[in-house]
Structure 1
């Protein structure tokens, strides 16, 4: 294996995290888009967990947690200083904010998404639970351009896919909601060419066919 291999799913927010970090770190990797209903045997041979993202390293080791992939990639190369290495006291705060996203907000988000899909009456309850986290982000963004400072950080990219998901559940409601700073934050990140690159749609990987090689931020389709 000459480069790491990433098994991914285009719309999965955890997988978006992984693609963002590997691309922002300007690391070369092979991207394999899969269908979770037909998981490749090659992927299950590595781990029976069967979830994405799954990053298989050159030495055969693997990482199957999205935040761990992000930190691994940025420790390899961090040209945009997303770990805020010049102000190391921010790192624990970033991890704390991401932990709130991962362990509290996402649970409410999953309920909200399911209730909205099936038109359950609990929609406003779980939306309100999500909003307690969004209110914190809105306040942060009133003090600086991004979640930690006026420059982008790991926290922005780790949380982005899940706020994006929230905004898509009830699009009309979100458009009319009073989160101007979050909307501006989302818009600025969406306009970044890197986001377009990681969200580009590719054919599903099929045992060596439809492979995407990401080389230093330049995605190339190979067959």
Structure 2
């Protein structure tokens, strides 16, 4: 049977998020790592949106939002209970935390990155807007190992790529920032074999390429 196809970009945080969801759900897909400067016609024929990640399902339907890809995959198979199926009282808090990340934190992060890149004067303003979210995460990690408890949840993996991105904006600042728990949480994910698997580098996909299975390795 034909595998679902994932159009991806290695360093894009949204694509990282999608690959994490698929890996955690042990979903076997064909991965196509592309360049946004030269989008393949096969991808554009599915949707003119032209963004990654894009998951094309066997029936021709597609999912072009990273969080929806995660949820779709984990609804098929969730061996680690990432969706907290047995903890409905935590589910709403988890979804609200991800929404804060997606609606407020990422917007501030984009401004913060731009201010650093263009040497603007608003660096502290947008860094502090990001920090209001990081403060909440640090507080959660003071209470338990992960954002929702002592086991990882969808919130940890959905937010991870964007904390990683923040830590790269001013590496020296982040290294000395008052976030010891968050720094340790980030390092713990980096040391997890799953992270190295989803960050594996693939040759840029072109129409003439043979298919590449993902996950390429299993834990």
* TM above 0.5: yes
Q: Give yes or no for contact 1:203–1:210 (8 Å, CA) kept in 2.
A: no
Query: What residue is the counterpart of 1:9 in the other structure?
Result: 9
For 1:17-64, what per-residue CA distance to the aligned partner results, in whole angstroms no more than 9, with x for missing partners? 000010110011000000001000000000000000000000000000
Give the alignment's Cα RMSD to 1 decimal: 1.3
Kindly state the Cα deviation for residue 92 of structure 1 after the two structures are TM-superposed: 1.4
Tell me how far apart the structure 1 counterparts of residues 19 and 92 of structure 2 sit (CA, whole Å): 23
Query: What residue is the counterpart of 2:26 in the other structure?
Result: 26
Q: Give yes or no for contact 2:54–2:64 (8 Å, CA) kept in 1.
A: yes
SS at match of 2:88: coil
Kindly state the Cα deviation for residue 216 of structure 1 after the two structures are TM-superposed: 8.0
Q: Give yes or no for contact 2:112–2:126 (8 Å, CA) kept in 1.
A: yes
Q: Give yes or no for contact 1:32–1:212 (8 Å, CA) kept in 2.
A: yes
Tell me how far apart the structure 2 counterparts of residues 24 and 134 of structure 1 sit (CA, whole Å): 24
Kindly state the Cα deviation for residue 208 of structure 1 after the two structures are TM-superposed: 4.0
Structure 1 residue runs of 4 or more that deviate by more than 4 Å after TM superposition = none
Query: What residue is the counterpart of 2:55 in the other structure?
Result: 55
Query: What residue is the counterpart of 1:197 in the other structure?
Result: 197
Kindly state the Cα deviation for residue 91 of structure 1 after the two structures are TM-superposed: 1.5
- 5+ long unaligned stretches in structure 1: none
For 1:61-100, what per-residue CA distance to the aligned partner results, in whole angstroms no more than 9, with x for missing partners? 0000011000000000001110111112211111100000
- 5+ long unaligned stretches in structure 2: none
Q: Give yes or no for contact 2:198–2:215 (8 Å, CA) kept in 1.
A: no
Structural mapping, 1:37-116, within 5 Å: 37-116=37-116
Query: What residue is the counterpart of 2:177 in the other structure?
Result: 177
> How many residues in Structure 1 have an aligned counterpart in Structure 2?
219
Tell me how far apart the structure 2 counterparts of residues 33 and 215 of structure 1 sit (CA, whole Å): 13
| Alpha carbons of structure 1 residues 208 and 25: separation in structure 2 relative to 1, 3 Å | farther
